[in-house]
Structure 1
Amino acid sequence: MSPAPPAPAAPEPLSVVGIGADGWDGLPAASRRALCAAEVLIGGARQLALLPAECTGERVPWPSPLRPAVPGLLAAYAGRRICVLASGDPMFYGIGRTLTEVLAEQAEGAPPDAPGGPSGEAPAPAAGHRLRILPHPSAVSYACARLGWPVEDTEVVTLVGRPAENLLRALYDGRRVLVLSAGAHTPAEVAALLRTHGFGPTRMRVLEQLGGARERTAEGVAADWDLPPGDALNVLALDCVRAPGTPHLSTVPGLPDAAYEHDGQLTKRHVRAATLAALAPAPGELLWDIGGGSGSIAVEWLRAHRSCRAVSVERDPVRAERIGRNARTLGVPGLRVVTGSAPAALEGLPVPDAVFIGGGLTAPGLLDACWAALPAGGRLVANTVTLESEALLAERHRRHGGELVRLAVSHAVPVGGFTGWRQAMPVTQWSAVKPPADSRSASSASSSAAPPASPGPSSQENRQP
């Protein structure tokens, strides 16, 4: 009987070392050992320049764009000890997250009989890295220490590789916000944004080179910010102050109608709040907003949590552009807008957790396509103001259950010298949760269940006038 082959050696861990503006002097012993032992050192040019000559590994600067290059770099240096440099804490808006996601994708994509798969053979270098994270204090920790702000009570917004409008949803009177800057230009860009959106009185402090020998702080007020650009490595601290007359925007659904640019195609405030309650957004979930109109449903879905995602489908190009403007103005520039007619425009979209139909209900096949695309537990909500679409919703209520309600809102208006009620058109709303027994492969349904779109139904059929 031949002896069993020796167990394969475990792959070298992929080390990720956080480093601050204090450079080598600020690193603990474990981080120094990992850097000295590395055969390949990957990082930004600024980070690599902080290392002394005793770190003899080959120095490889990150290419741009970074994320698509990660799998290729790991494969190119497979079998060698790799150490990746990160700013501060690698797992806080850092390269650590990217590496964990890439390695997980590679592991999932490995065939069962490939090295690194379930067969127990030695992992392939590209998919078999074990990640070892050696963090450094983050810029947020340093900034809060300098400012005397509790970290847990401080809102943090990163503008590194992200639109500046992401900051807008964090602006509330009296709030403390830390902004992770994209560069030396960020303070001036943020000051302009604050002035434009009614937060000109906000106190701004720029904290540069935190933890390093060249640490400094500059201060001013957004309304008259005129400081020249400083160091590119900076964090911006905001003590938010709303200017008199600036509208107060709530964190919950039901923003004032005046918060939106629209041509009348808008789900009105009270119906919108009820609609979002039925859609029930949760962190990380994806919404399809069909017949977007002004985009109000998708915008307020995204405002529910920063990890929520949404796709707004609107056939009118002018309205589609307007949806994008509303999303940026209200702090959710990540809203994806698809210009086209549903159901054809739904083809290829990622599987939704919830679907709202606010326009085009009578388009042939639309309701079937949306229901088929939902996974078990997915929610579908549809609103209408017309009898024709109401009949469709009543039939779906008989078929799938759920709730069928009529929402009627009246507003007090002057009647001569008195006050009376003016009623808006009532809205019929059907909402349902897809049961497990009714579920099928949503990934294929979203691309195959949508029949060709037909001309005809107007998005106006479902919106309040």
Structure 2
Amino acid sequence: YRETAQLLASKFGFACPEQEASSEIRTLSIIGTGVGPGTGLTSAGAEAVKDADLVVGADRMLQIPEAAGKPVLPEYMPTKIFAYLDEHPEYRNIALLVSGDVGFYSAAKSMLAKVDPSEYDVSLHCGISSVQYLCARAGVPWQDVRLISAHAKDANIVGNVRRNSAVFTLLNGSEGVRKMCQQLTEYGFADVRVAVGCDLGYPEEKFLYGIPEEILSSDLGTLCAALIFNPSPDGRNPISIPDSEFIRGDAPMTKSEIRALSVAKLKLCEDSLVYDIGAGTGSVTVEMALTAYNGTVYAVEKEDAAADLIEENKRKFGTPNVEVIRGLAPEAMKDLPAPTHVFIGGSSGNLKDIVACVLEKNPEARIIVNSVTLETISEVLELPQVCAVEQEEVVCINAANSRHLGRYNLMAAQNPVYIAVFRGKSA
């Protein structure tokens, strides 16, 4: 930081406050120790540890030879680390050890968010990450591998495997490996190849390779990561799945043409958190989940038979990021996290209360309401007067599909559907 500030000061001709107080600034080196007990520590990182007068990190990190004989602080929480350093100004050159590489799901991020650059001159030293190590062990380049983490956080591994030929993920130990393999099998990816690395860099390191079922029956280690190889990735736009592909039963279903425009107008991101209110068969739910594959879709449905269909379509289309909520909105929405986007396909007469509940959770939510009756569209048009929303547009769709009659094609009309788009007034 100090060197950068001085360079900018000299280039643009302004005074650099750090120059006057440079002797007061302490040095903080954040060092990636790589995999194992310092197996992936670089020579530059090792020198930074040797030069430090205090070494900080989790107990496992402090076992590296370079830290031997030095004062240590066995701690990894940023607030506690800086509180300790405030109480011990005698330490001027601090080495903070983090596992893996400083740039890949590392504790370095939270440390950098807390550090005061006027007090610390910070430098980062990369280590050999589990990504690099496992890919080298598997004999594959990692430049085209999709990188995610399911370690102490949710991740849609299935959704990422569907879209990519190779996926790397950190996992929650052996249980995380088993959960991943069970999901891959359940959601239609039983034949993909999985390479699992356990306790990488340690003497007890294990490397396993096979289909998910074979990995499930294997003896696993404690610290785990995996590479999943999909020979047939599907990166196509998931919008407008043919109606015939859904398991339908007797529940109502939004037709393909209406579904495509409705999902498009929601403007979902890959990590959106979405409600589907009155989800029916789950056709809209599935397309939203395939679009927001790193997000979550909560399908709220009051009818048990329809909710069962959503569960079936969830498995058929491989969308574990769908959560089926059985109950009537808005009561069933009370304990759900705040949505970024909401699709309302059926409100059971509770439209205003549903929208009010959504806005209470997120005043900036984007909301789409579909209507097929004039009575419902009348209620929809009143929303800006009774709720804190702004109407962006209302579109009426009149779609017709061809059907064969001998050598002729006749057009069969669908019911007209109104698609109303709203956003919170503070958006």
Q: Same fold (TM over 0.5)?
A: yes
Q: Partner residue of 1:181?
A: 171
Question: Partner letter of residue 42 of structure 1?
Answer: G
Q: Distance in 2 between matches of 1:17 and 1:99?
A: 12
Stretch moving more, 416-425 or 298-307: 416-425
Q: Partner residue of 1:20?
A: 34
1:387 paired residue among 344, 357, 374: 374
Instruction: Indicate conservation of the 8 Å contact 1:202/1:221, yes or no.
Output: yes
Once the two structures are superposed, residues 64-83 of structure 1 have per-residue CA deviations (whole angstroms, 9 ceiling, x without a partner) of xxxxx654554355444664
1:365 is paired with a residue of what secondary structure? helix
Once the two structures are superposed, residues 105-143 of structure 1 have per-residue CA deviations (whole angstroms, 9 ceiling, x without a partner) of xxxxxxxxxxx8xxxxx98xxxx7776432212221223
Could you state the TM-score of these two structures normalised by the residue count of structure 2?
0.70
Residue 140 (structure 1) aligned with residue 140 (structure 2): no
2:321 paired residue among 308, 333, 347: 333
State the percentage of identical aligned residues. 23
Q: Partner residue of 1:429?
A: 419
C-alpha spacing 1:147/1:311, structure 2 compared with 1 (3 Å): same
1:172 is paired with a residue of what secondary structure? helix
Residue 253 (structure 1) aligned with residue 239 (structure 2): yes
Q: Partner residue of 2:225?
A: 235
Q: Distance in 1 between matches of 2:367 and 2:144?
A: 36
Question: Partner letter of residue 392 of structure 1?
Answer: E
Residue 75 (structure 1) aligned with residue 80 (structure 2): no
Residue 365 (structure 1) aligned with residue 357 (structure 2): no
Residue 278 (structure 1) aligned with residue 278 (structure 2): no
Q: Partner residue of 1:200?
A: 190
1:46 paired residue among 56, 60, 63: 60
Q: How far did 1:291 drift?
A: 3.6
Once the two structures are superposed, residues 281-312 of structure 1 have per-residue CA deviations (whole angstroms, 9 ceiling, x without a partner) of 13555444444445554554343345545555
Once the two structures are superposed, residues 311-361 of structure 1 have per-residue CA deviations (whole angstroms, 9 ceiling, x without a partner) of 5555668877986886687345375959663389569964x5443222217
Instruction: Indicate conservation of the 8 Å contact 1:281/1:308, yes or no.
Output: no
C-alpha spacing 1:15/1:292, structure 2 compared with 1 (3 Å): farther
Q: Distance in 1 between matches of 2:81 and 2:384?
A: 54
Residue 154 (structure 1) aligned with residue 140 (structure 2): no
1:171 is paired with a residue of what secondary structure? helix
Instruction: Indicate conservation of the 8 Å contact 1:23/1:50, yes or no.
Output: yes
Question: Partner letter of residue 39 of structure 1?
Answer: L
Q: Distance in 2 between matches of 1:135 and 1:281?
A: 35
Structure 2, gaps ≥5 residues long: 1-19
Q: How far did 1:275 drift?
A: 0.9
C-alpha spacing 1:183/1:400, structure 2 compared with 1 (3 Å): closer
Q: Partner residue of 1:166?
A: 156
Instruction: Indicate conservation of the 8 Å contact 1:158/1:181, yes or no.
Output: yes
- Matches for 1:67-106 after TM superposition, within 5 Å: 70-72=78-80, 74-75=82-83, 78-80=86-88, 83-100=95-112, 103=114
C-alpha spacing 1:208/1:419, structure 2 compared with 1 (3 Å): same
Q: Distance in 1 between matches of 2:214 and 2:203?
A: 29
Q: Distance in 2 between matches of 1:23 and 1:397?
A: 61
The alignment covers a number of residue pairs equal to: 396
Q: How far did 1:382 drift?
A: 1.1
2:32 is paired with a residue of what secondary structure? strand
C-alpha spacing 1:90/1:266, structure 2 compared with 1 (3 Å): farther
